Amino acid sequence: MKLAYNPFVLATLCFLGLFTSAVRGVAKANDVYLIIYTTKAGYTGHVGVAVDNYKIVVKDTVIDGKREVVYDSVKNHTLTYYDLWGPADIRLDQHDEDLACRYYKLPRSSAEESLTVDYFLTRGLPHSYDYPCDAMVRIQTSAVDDFRFKVIAEDIQQEKNYFNSREYNCTDYVILCLKRLLGVDLKASEYIPFSWSSTPNKFYKEVVSSLKAEIIRKPGPEVDRSFFKERVFNTVLFNQFINHEKNN
């Protein structure tokens, strides 16, 4: 197993017990979860990502005939969630502009409620949509991958300090996280007059067709419809100017 980390990262992984578990072949299967709100009936939709958290378990084991203390990583059934938002209000003439971004890493502290798979499936997002997600996909990773993912997600939040509806939206943020973790180049853009943009519906279809992923919740038939029809056309036709976002 080849691990390409700098000395500081390797030291951190060893401290957490993740690197030790990985090289000895006892790392437990862990997961990255894609949380998707589809574009439908005037809703824009949204994409976020969550990753497993761990507790460190100390145990005795026999290695090469010698008893040693091993620090192992075990899922604690809670998640850390990441996503990107633009300003709460975006004018029609601002959709191709770089705007102020709002990144989130949740929970913000241990004082806040823990997040779990069930939370997203039954309650939604703690800082925004207060209803269940439309789709959820699980990608199996390792403890080392999950540690790397958290570093990647937070590094990108520092690097790309803007939001652009056309070129860098919530879907693009998650795509970039997965690209840096897995080396995949997901194509989730569709034509929205008069340019191309990544959208939640296309993202879901690309993920399930391109990656080895488990569908935890399958979306409705709207996932096969275009952003233009579900968001733009329905908004104009039915005057569905709806703000479904809580104050986040």
pLDDT at 131 over 60: yes
Spatial distance between the Cα atoms of 148 and 161, rounded to a whole number of angstroms: 20
Mean pLDDT computed over 138-157: 95
| Residue 50 contacts residue 32 (beta carbons within 8 Å) | yes
pLDDT in tens, 153-195: 999 999 999 999 999 999 999 999 999 999 999 999 999 988 8
* Percent share of the chain, pLDDT over 90: 63
pLDDT at 75 over 70: no
Query: Is residue 71 very low, low, confident or very high in pLDDT (cuts 50, 70, 90)?
Result: very low
Rounded to the nearest 5 percent, the helix, strand and coil shares of the chain are 35, 30, 35
What per-residue confidence (pLDDT) applies to 29? 52
What per-residue confidence (pLDDT) applies to 24? 37
Mean pLDDT computed over 4-8: 45
Spatial distance between the Cα atoms of 218 and 103, rounded to a whole number of angstroms: 26
Spatial distance between the Cα atoms of 179 and 75, rounded to a whole number of angstroms: 24
Q: Which of 34-38, 186-190, 194-198, 229-233 has the lowest mean pLDDT?
A: 229-233
What per-residue confidence (pLDDT) applies to 246? 54
Spatial distance between the Cα atoms of 182 and 8, rounded to a whole number of angstroms: 21
Query: Which of 42, 86, 38 lies closest to 242, judged by CA?
Result: 42
Look over the chain and give the mean of its residue pLDDT values, rounded to a whole number. 83
What is the fold, at CATH topology level, of the domain defined by 29-52+75-219? Answer: endopeptidase fold (from Nostoc punctiforme) (3.90.1720)
What per-residue confidence (pLDDT) applies to 61? 73
pTM for the model stands at: 0.81
CA separation (Å) from 245 to 88, 89, 155?
Answer: 8, 11, 26
* Percent share of the chain, pLDDT over 70: 76
Mean pLDDT computed over 230-247: 60
237-240's contacts with Cβ under 8 Å and 24+ in sequence apart are 238/42, 240/41, 240/42
Q: Burial level of 220, CB count in 10 A (0-12/13-18/19+)?
A: exposed
pLDDT at 125 over 80: yes
Query: How far is CA 226 from its chain centroid?
Result: 22
What per-residue confidence (pLDDT) applies to 193? 86
pLDDT in tens, 87-115: 999 998 999 999 999 999 999 998 999 99
What per-residue confidence (pLDDT) applies to 30? 75
**Which sequence spans correspond to the domains of the chain?**
29-52+75-219
